Amino acid sequence: MPGYGPSAATRRSVTAVLGGMSQPRLLIVGAGAVGGYFGGRLAQAGRDVTFLVRDRRAQQLRQRGLEIVSPHGDAKIDPEITTKAELTEPFDLVLLAVKHYVLNAAIADVAPAIGENTVILPVLNGIRHLDLLRTAFGETHVLGGVCIVATTLDADDRIVQLNDMQELSYGEVDGTLSERIRTIDRTMQGAGFNARLSSSIELEMWEKWVFIAALGGITCLMRGTIGEVQHAPRGRDLTIAMLDECVAVATAAGYAPRPLARDRAFNVLTDANSNLASSMYRDLQKGQQLEAGAIIGDMCDRGEAAGVKVPLLSAAFAQLSIYEQKRA
């Protein structure tokens, strides 16, 4: 596995900054379904949270507040808001929760918030964003992160949680349990969601990617929920083949999913009674922009580079690319 990770000096520097504050300053980039949920819970728990959002969303939040509708309890907060034009000083921790297709714009927008000791926690899907963030800000600033939550924005732009899953995992990419990641862990604990410090975060990122690529690939390719696909002729076989392709790519890259993760993915993806559909499929049904390139396309590219054949993933990506071309 790649040996990325911050130097000891950088860790000490960031630890000194974060550890010396009773309330580290958090910047949440994006107040959509994911950033709005975790940032909202952190703000509700009394953390020092500011949201970096576009002008329209800023006006909306300042007028109506940020609303969460959840089986864990509804919430309405009046968040601290900043826009690109108003952002002028560094933050201690930046939680990056945007879609891949706006990542380059988000990198440009957030640049003033990245100081010498700022730590970036991205919770995007896939792996590609790590390289983009390292190129933009340097690898010592970038952590690994995984979020597991099913949320969406309703017609009133409220954040609606669709089930009771709500976990945020984070860690140094090289697995080191540094003082700075322990400081961040203390900040995340007790904020109304499951917060977990990981010593194998990049493997967890790959395990999630395998699952969502298989889920997104099969539901978008077949245009149905998991249960509907399983009841279709050859649907179960196609689902298993799609998962096998994703596992093969991850294994070739040096991140073979652990048995528990693979078994869990298999059981969820082959549940004939499931109404589960990927967020990509829901976006497809709404005619919205997709993360197909980062989730499906990048998996295809890495498979090709490793000599792994991925015909079903390729078919799904080709179909979604046609959709994107027509949409554009």
Distance CA 108, CA 136 (A): 9
Q: Which amino acid is at 5?
A: G
pLDDT at 23: 76
326 has catalytic annotation: no
Mean predicted confidence (pLDDT) in 133-137: 97
Q: Write down the catalytic residue from 76, 84, 208, 309.
A: 208
Distance CA 112, CA 90 (A): 6
Distance CA 278, CA 195 (A): 23
**Where do the domains of the chain lie?**
8-199, 204-327
Tell me the per-residue pLDDT of 76-94, one tens digit each, with 9 for 90 and over: 999 999 999 999 999 999 9
Measured at the alpha carbon of residue 194, what is the angle toward residues 16 and 214, in degrees to the nearest 5?
110
pLDDT > 50? residue 234: yes
Nearest Cα to 315, choosing from 234, 242, 231?
Answer: 242
Average pLDDT along the chain:
93
Max distance between CA atoms of the chain, in angstroms, equals: 61
DSSP type of residue 125: S
pLDDT > 60? residue 13: no
Q: Which amino acid is at 224?
A: G
Considering the domain 204-327 in this protein, what is its CATH number? 1.10.1040.10
pLDDT at 328: 87
User: What is the enclosing helix (H) or strand (E) of 48?
Assistant: strand 48-52
pLDDT > 70? residue 134: yes
Distance CA 218, CA 224 (A): 8
Class of domain 8-199: alpha beta
Tell me the per-residue pLDDT of 103-112, one tens digit each, with 9 for 90 and over: 999 999 999 9
Per cent of the chain over pLDDT 90 is: 91
Tell me the per-residue pLDDT of 269-312, one tens digit each, with 9 for 90 and over: 999 999 999 999 999 999 999 999 999 999 999 999 999 999 99
Distance CA 306, CA 183 (A): 38
Measured at the alpha carbon of residue 117, what is the angle toward residues 113 and 121, in degrees to the nearest 5?
65
Mean predicted confidence (pLDDT) in 254-265: 98
How far does CA 199 lie from the centroid of its chain?
18
> Using 50, 70 and 90 to split pLDDT, how confident is the model at 12?
very low
Tell me the per-residue pLDDT of 63-79, one tens digit each, with 9 for 90 and over: 999 999 999 999 999 99
> Using 50, 70 and 90 to split pLDDT, how confident is the model at 225?
very high
Tell me the per-residue pLDDT of 153-200, one tens digit each, with 9 for 90 and over: 999 999 999 999 999 999 999 999 999 999 999 999 999 999 999 999
* Contact yes or no for 137/158 (Cβ under 8 A): no
pLDDT at 18: 61
Contacts 24+ apart (CB under 8 A), 318-324: 319/220, 319/221, 320/220, 320/280, 320/284, 320/290, 320/292, 320/296, 321/292, 321/297, 323/284, 323/290, 324/289, 324/290, 324/292
> Using 50, 70 and 90 to split pLDDT, how confident is the model at 11?
very low
pLDDT at 22: 58
Tell me the per-residue pLDDT of 145-157, one tens digit each, with 9 for 90 and over: 999 998 999 999 9
* Contact yes or no for 213/313 (Cβ under 8 A): yes
* Non-local CB neighbours of 115 within 8 Å, separated by 6+ positions: 89, 90, 91
